[in-house]
């Protein structure tokens, strides 16, 4: 049980505390590979026994000596932990909302620094996820595909010569690859360029989602850019397409930030400092306002307007202020009003330091 608590009591994953390329704009990079086993029904149709068989079969692969290169992997069986702990794992992006709601032999294997999580019996039998700080799409892809190769040496994947890897959701058929970057784009939002930029993104086979993926809201000027097409393109083409588009978005955001500083510096200082003051002294704060104020302050840090906070503290607050983590810290079953009060208290303590 102590292993389970280790991942749900610490808000900042070790990988999040490291620096990455373009980390002032790209918060994180993720590569996820979806696979299913041949001769086994997909999770949504599997019996409890069949799901258990899949879990045991995939768990054996972790004994391969090549897996030791990625450090120790800690197993968490979803049936063995509380719903609140599952929610915290979702808030840290270590498991998906789908796996958190799955009760049939769902499991996750997490690395020491939490940069690798291997989900079992989610929407698909196997989902390999690699998380990196900043813009490191190639590194994340190389690690994910190397782990995929280890599994493929031990189990037979559900594969069709024409369609590629078979998945529960048709949008993942083909490569089964989802590569994404989490981007902080406040200047494009402030200068009202964001809709034009994101519209162009969708024209080249990419999609834009909120912080927790499909169906979630883009709060705090955080946008998740990922490939939409998995069929008809190779893995290399998918990675290169995303890489090129993200580079362009980074340049647009940098240009917008420079323009804000040159054309309306005083207004930017005022906006940043008002949010800094609100975070420092507010008695109540809902999650939407917290996300927006933290975005303003992060922009202030990146522009050199604030030198008393680090990006790591802001990364930590983005997790700590989520509903699950607040309840983990201050007690379960908090009302919305109580969460807003404790959220403000926690922010004051962190920002005040």
Query: Residues within the annotated binding site for ATP?
Result: 28-32, 93, 127, 178-182, 209-214
CB 21 within 8 A of CB 135: yes
Which DSSP letter does residue 135 get? Answer: S
> How many whole angstroms separate alpha carbon 149 and alpha carbon 215?
31
A 10 A CB-CB count for 193 gives 17
CB 35 within 8 A of CB 157: yes
> How many whole angstroms separate alpha carbon 325 and alpha carbon 8?
8
DSSP for 267-306, written as a single string: HHHHHHHHHHHHHHH-S---HHHHHHHHHHHHHHHHTTS-
Q: Which of 263, 226, 228 is nearest to 246 (CA)?
A: 226
Angle (deg, nearest 10), helices 137-154 and 235-281: 120
Alpha helices in the chain (DSSP H): 2-9, 48-61, 83-91, 97-100, 137-154, 186-190, 194-202, 235-281, 287-302, 311-320, 323-330, 336-352
CB 323 within 8 A of CB 219: no
Cα angle vertex 214, ends 211, 220, to 5°?
25
CB 196 within 8 A of CB 218: no
Q: Which residues line the annotated binding site?
A: 28-32, 93, 127, 178-182, 209-214
């Amino acid at each position: 049980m102590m292993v389970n608590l280790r991942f749900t009591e610490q808000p900042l994953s070790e990988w999040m505390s490291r620096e990455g390329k373009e980390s002032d704009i790209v918060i994180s990079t993720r590569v996820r590979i979806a696979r299913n086993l041949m001769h086994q029904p997909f999770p949504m149709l599997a019996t409890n026994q069949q799901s258990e068989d899949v879990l045991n079969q995939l768990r054996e692969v972790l004994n391969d000596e090549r897996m030791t290169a990625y450090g120790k992997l800690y197993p968490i069986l979803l049936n063995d932990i509380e719903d609140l702990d599952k929610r915290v794992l979702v808030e840290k992006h270590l498991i998906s909302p789908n796996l958190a709601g799955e009760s049939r032999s769902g499991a996750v294997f997490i690395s020491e620094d939490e940069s690798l999580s291997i989900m079992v019996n989610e929407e698909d039998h196997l989902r390999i996820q690699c998380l990196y700080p900043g813009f490191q799409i190639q590194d994340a892809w190389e690690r994910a595909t190397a782990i995929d190769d280890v599994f493929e040496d031990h189990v037979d994947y559900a594969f069709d010569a024409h369609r590629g890897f078979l998945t529960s959701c048709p949008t993942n058929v083909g490569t089964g690859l989802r590569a994404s970057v989490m981007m902080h784009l406040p200047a494009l939002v402030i200068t009202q360029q964001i809709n034009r930029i994101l519209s162009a993104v969708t024209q080249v086979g990419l999609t834009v989602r909120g912080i927790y993926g499909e169906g979630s809201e883009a709060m705090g000027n955080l946008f998740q850019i990922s490939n939409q097409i998995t069929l008809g393109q190779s893995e290399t083409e998918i990675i290169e397409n995303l890489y090129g588009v993200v580079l362009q978005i980074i340049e647009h955001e940098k240009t917008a930030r420079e323009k804000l500083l040159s054309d309306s510096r005083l207004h930017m200082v005022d906006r940043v400092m008002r949010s800094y003051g609100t975070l420092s002294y507010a008695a109540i704060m809902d999650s939407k306002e917290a996300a927006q104020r933290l975005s303003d302050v992060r922009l202030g840090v990146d522009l050199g307007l604030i030198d008393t906070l680090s990006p790591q503290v802001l990364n930590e607050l983005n997790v700590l202020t989520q509903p699950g983590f607040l309840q983990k810290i201050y007690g379960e079953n908090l009302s919305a009003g109580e969460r807003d009060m404790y959220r403000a208290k926690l922010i004051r303590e962190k920002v005040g330091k």
